[in-house]
Structure formats: structure tokens, C-alpha cells
A and B are shown apart, each in its own frame.
Chain A
Amino acid sequence: MARIIVITSGKGGVGKTTTSAALSMGLAQRGKRTVVIDFDVGLRNLDLIMGCERRVVYDFVNVINKEANLNQALIRDKRCDHLYVLPASQTRDKDALTKEGVERVLNELTQNHDFIICDSPAGIEHGATMAMYFADDAIVVTNPEVSSVRDSDRMLGILSSRSRRAENSEEPIREYLLLTRYDPYRVLSGEMLSVDDVQEILSLNLLGVIPESKAVLSASNAGVPVILDRESDAGRAYNDMVSRYLGEDVPHRFLNPEKKGFLSRLFRG
């Protein structure tokens, strides 16, 4: 039985796909049989960040519509044997994701995987509700700003009522907070909320704090999940996140501005 993790957010563009790529790669590198599914039908994004966009033949919607079977649609990652990507369709609309279809695909995947990561579109529209419905765990990706925190709060409310676990009165979805694009300088100057501010508002289990980092953009341009960039602060922060998710007690890093000289502060990245 696989554990199903949804990566979700209220506001768009906060780093869900970046996080889905990092988490799935991180779990797979630790030997977990992992598959990551792109629920953002119509926008196809995950395959670019995973660097497998030129190997897409069939997609999630094809499998749901039984136009292809899972083995035909799953793309095995070239860097890590335990990792598979199920890409989204660029051409269909969101309604192609039916609840029965999604359930059937998840049931099939759960047989021989340890983790299923669902990269959700933002907000509460159809694709997002499908991505969250079957989840066991939810990682709510939030940027340290008021609007994002507010939307995450609303998202948490919806998660607690619109899921299979809620409908069957089972143990509720485990909810985690991931703060991304954290910039200690802007926190210090009062432009951004601090970790403590966000924790105070959301009162949620903090899975990690990912710093704002130029490494994220260069990694996604290269089609390499940033977690593989061990030199970068974002890569290391994502590695910590994966360890924490698996139960290790890892202290949070990158919360405070590094004590650097004037020049390196000018060129910080």
C-alpha cells in the first residue's frame, strides 16, 4: 500500500511543482518506490521540471480514459530507478479527471509503490479537488506573505471536509506546512512574514523552510529537480524536508541572514 501525498496551495505559483519534483526525487533516492502525478491538466509543467518532457507518449488522462495502460504512460526517471512520472495532458480540459478514473489509477499504483505524490493545481477547482480527495497526507505550500497564508488557511479548511478520509469518517489527512521562497533579509526588513508569524496563524506541523534561491530557476531550466543540487541552499533545505517527512529530527536551517560581507550580500543568491 502506498501513502498518497498531495502537494497543494490556495494561491498559485508558490512552488508546488518544484516541491513535488524535489520530494519525489528525494524519496526515490532513499530507496522508496515513488511515482509523481501531474494533476495540473492543461498546463503540463512537472515533466519539464523533471526533465522528461521529450519522452511523453501517453498521459494521465489517456490512462483514465483507458486509451493507454499505466505501463505505457509511466516514465521512468533516468537518474533514479525508483522514480516514475505520470505526466499531465496538455490538450484535455480539467473535467477529464473523473473521480472513478483517478481512484482506479491510484489503486493500481498503490500495489507496487511506497509513495504517490500528487502535484495539484492551485486553488479549489476540479483538478485540485481530485488531487486532494484520495490523499493520506497533505503538504500545504505557502509563501511568507499574508495573502498566501490566508489562502492556505482556507485550503486547510477544505481539506478537512472534502476528502475520502473525511467522508468515510476515517483518521483525518495529516497536514504539513512547507514555507517556500523564504528570504530572511526581507523578513528582517518587515516585508515578509517570519516563520513564527506564519506558524502562529496556521498552527501546523512545519515540514520545512525553503529559502528563496536562484538555484531553483536554473535547476528547472535544466530539467533537474533542485534537490539534486547539493551545493545549493534550496537543494539542502529540500533534502532536510524529505528526512523530516520520513521521521528524522532535523533542525531548520536558512532561517536567518548569513553573516556575510558587504560584497557577498550584494551578490547573494
Chain B
Amino acid sequence: MAVNPNPRNNDTDGPRSFELKAASFTLPIIRLIDNNIEAVAARLGAKVEKAPDFFRNTPVVIDLSSLPEGVGAGELPLLVGLLRGYGMIPFGVRGGGKEQNAAAEALELAVLRDSYVRRGKGASKAEEPPPESEVAVDEAPAPQARASKQAASPRRSNPGFMLITKPVRSGQRVYASGGDLSITAAVSSGAELMADGNIHVYGPLRGRALAGMSGNLEARIFCQDLQAELVSIAGHYRVSENIPVELRGVPVQIFLDQKILRIEKL
């Protein structure tokens, strides 16, 4: 967030406190062809590996228009976690139906209405960035968007906690959006845990664990038996190769100290 450089001049009536302008940006769009997150993860992983810097801190829009109505709503949290895990900043969806938009709003993503992107002349190519004149800042939200917000509220009713009691297997991904994740079983190598808050693992942690997914530097990982392939707090990560032997196989906590990832015996 940009901060007003002159704190004395923040009078709401003052003409210069801010300016409302429309601008357009060219953004990458991820158009989902089907809702198989495993397949998406595999392809995306390969792409990101080739050009990691290109994707780091890049805002992206998720295009749902190729999915049937309702399909993919359940996968959206996983996808968002996945994109964040690769350093991208997913900030909105477009082309979704009611249920999909509700899921997006529950994740605090913007729902970009078609009117932003399709209106106007050369807008037949879906991949094109929105033309400048179409960023309608003061347009009232469509009734559909309001309705979907209500539908979304139950998803938020249990914020901040997710409990898994069965082993998390290779290839599985768990994302606790908006809160902590606790696992009372083993996490296999090849599995991935993600949480906006802390991660607690009361079994061997052999896969990856990424806490503080949405940037919370205070998030921590606690585990009984550290054998992880990768651990990360708010994007600061360490791979297995760089975890000292004396910290493997013992109970530890992992946290950020001045943005340096630290692993400490418990």
C-alpha cells in the first residue's frame, strides 16, 4: 500500500489527497482447461523451473471461462496456494460462474467481471489485456456478485484452523487458507502442506511445508520429526540439502528471525 507522503495533508475534503485514475496492465492469465490440480501443478512446475524469475512476484489472473459452471470451485484454494508457492501473486478470477466466484471471494480474490474485459472493440481474443478505457472504478457491483458473497460466507465461518488426521500422501496438497494447519499423521515425501498461518505436524514430516503463504512473517512450522524436502515461511525457504543432520529426525520449530529462516530444536 502506498502511504501518503504528507501526513498533514490527509483531510478527506482536500483535493490532493488522492487521485482516482484508470490504468491498464498487461498480466499473465492462467486459463484452466480442466480442474485436475495435479496436472496443472505438474505443467506449471515445469514452466516455472525453466524461468523462475519470470514468475516471481508476478500478479496473475485465473480464467475460469473454459470450465463448466460450478466445476473447480473446490480446487480454487489449492490452485491459489500453488501459484503462491511458485512466487506468483494470484489476485483475481474472471469468467467464473456463481459458485466459482463465491469461492474466489472467500479467498479474497477480486472477481473481474466480463464488463471489464470483454466490452469494446478488439476484445474477441480472450487473452488480450483489458483496454484502458474499460477499468470502471465506480461501477456498482453486479447483483450476481452480491449474491455470491452471501453464498461464500459459510466458507469463512471457520477461519484459522484445519485438522487432518490421516496420512498426507505423495502427490496430495493441503492448503489451510486463512489459518493454521494441524496434521496428526505422517506427511509423505512428495506431499505438500500449505497454510496462511502456522503448520503443526505430529508425525514424521517428509514432504514440503510452507507456512505464512500469504506473507505472514510471524508464521511458524512445528514438527515432531523433521525429514522435510523443503520448509518455507512466507516465501523464505530451505531445501533438505541445507538442513543440518543434527536437526533431522528430531522435534523442531521453524521460524523467521530478521527474515532469516531458523530451525531450532524443541
Which A residues form the contact surface with B (CB < 8 A)?
150, 153-154, 156-158, 160-161, 201-203
Q: Is B172 in the interface zone, CB < 8 Å from A?
A: yes
Cβ–Cβ contact B171 & A160, under 8 A: no
Q: How far is the CA of A130 from the CA of B69 in the complex (A)?
A: 25
Cβ–Cβ contact A203 & B171, under 8 A: no
**Contacts A150-B189, A150-B190, A153-B189 given; 4 further ones with Cβ under 8 A?**
A153-B170, A157-B168, A157-B171, A161-B172
Cβ–Cβ contact B190 & A153, under 8 A: yes
Cβ–Cβ contact A201 & B169, under 8 A: no
Set of chain A residues within 8 Å of B186, measured between Cβ atoms: 201, 203
Cβ–Cβ contact A203 & B189, under 8 A: no
Chain B minimum-CB-distance residue to A159? B169
Q: Is B148 in the interface zone, CB < 8 Å from A?
A: no
B117-151 contacts to A (CB < 8 Å): none
Q: Is B32 in the interface zone, CB < 8 Å from A?
A: no
In the assembled complex, the CB of B225 is this many whole angstroms from the nearest CB of chain A, namely 11
Cβ–Cβ contact B172 & A157, under 8 A: yes
Interface string of B167-194 (1 = CB under 8 A from A): 1111110000000000001101111000
Chain A minimum-CB-distance residue to B169? A157
Cβ–Cβ contact B190 & A154, under 8 A: yes
Q: List 29 A-B contacts (CB under 8 A).
A: A150-B170, A150-B189, A150-B190, A153-B170, A153-B188, A153-B189, A153-B190, A154-B169, A154-B170, A154-B171, A156-B167, A156-B169, A157-B168, A157-B169, A157-B171, A157-B188, A157-B191, A158-B171, A160-B166, A160-B169, A161-B172, A201-B186, A201-B188, A201-B206, A202-B167, A203-B167, A203-B185, A203-B186, A203-B203
In the assembled complex, the CB of B50 is this many whole angstroms from the nearest CB of chain A, namely 24
Set of chain B residues within 8 Å of A201, measured between Cβ atoms: 186, 188, 206
Q: How far is the CA of A170 from the CA of B103 in the complex (A)?
A: 24
Set of chain B residues within 8 Å of A202, measured between Cβ atoms: 167
Chain B minimum-CB-distance residue to A146? B189
Q: How far is the CA of A159 from the CA of B166 in the complex (A)?
A: 13
Q: How far is the CA of A107 from the CA of B265 in the complex (A)?
A: 55
The 3 closest A-B pairs by CB, nearest first: A157-B169, A157-B172, A153-B170
Q: How far is the CA of A224 from the CA of B186 in the complex (A)?
A: 40
Q: How far is the CA of A221 from the CA of B121 in the complex (A)?
A: 71
Set of chain B residues within 8 Å of A150, measured between Cβ atoms: 170, 189-190
Set of chain B residues within 8 Å of A160, measured between Cβ atoms: 166, 169, 172
Q: How far is the CA of A201 from the CA of B168 in the complex (A)?
A: 11
Q: How far is the CA of A104 from the CA of B186 in the complex (A)?
A: 38
Set of chain A residues within 8 Å of B170, measured between Cβ atoms: 150, 153-154, 157
Set of chain B residues within 8 Å of A156, measured between Cβ atoms: 167, 169
In the assembled complex, the CB of A52 is this many whole angstroms from the nearest CB of chain B, namely 36
B179-221 contacts to A (CB < 8 Å): 185-186, 188-191, 203, 206
Q: How far is the CA of A154 from the CA of B169 in the complex (A)?
A: 6
Q: How far is the CA of A134 from the CA of B153 in the complex (A)?
A: 34
Set of chain A residues within 8 Å of B203, measured between Cβ atoms: 203
Chain B minimum-CB-distance residue to A158? B171
Set of chain A residues within 8 Å of B206, measured between Cβ atoms: 201
Q: How far is the CA of A203 from the CA of B191 in the complex (A)?
A: 15
Q: How far is the CA of A154 from the CA of B189 in the complex (A)?
A: 10
Chain A minimum-CB-distance residue to B172? A157
Q: How far is the CA of A201 from the CA of B167 in the complex (A)?
A: 10
In the assembled complex, the CB of B249 is this many whole angstroms from the nearest CB of chain A, namely 12
Interface centre among B171, B186, B189 (most CB of A within 10 A): B171
Q: How far is the CA of A154 from the CA of B166 in the complex (A)?
A: 14
Chain B minimum-CB-distance residue to A10? B170
Q: How far is the CA of A157 from the CA of B206 in the complex (A)?
A: 15
Q: How far is the CA of A3 from the CA of B18 in the complex (A)?
A: 69
Interface centre among A153, A201, A202 (most CB of B within 10 A): A153
Q: How far is the CA of A29 from the CA of B84 in the complex (A)?
A: 56
Set of chain A residues within 8 Å of B171, measured between Cβ atoms: 154, 157-158
Q: How far is the CA of A161 from the CA of B169 in the complex (A)?
A: 11
Chain A minimum-CB-distance residue to B203? A203
Q: How far is the CA of A135 from the CA of B170 in the complex (A)?
A: 21
Q: How far is the CA of A154 from the CA of B170 in the complex (A)?
A: 5
B214-258 contacts to A (CB < 8 Å): none
In the assembled complex, the CB of B197 is this many whole angstroms from the nearest CB of chain A, namely 24
In the assembled complex, the CB of B166 is this many whole angstroms from the nearest CB of chain A, namely 7
Q: How far is the CA of A84 from the CA of B181 in the complex (A)?
A: 48
Cβ–Cβ contact A153 & B185, under 8 A: no
B7-64 contacts to A (CB < 8 Å): none
In the assembled complex, the CB of A177 is this many whole angstroms from the nearest CB of chain B, namely 12
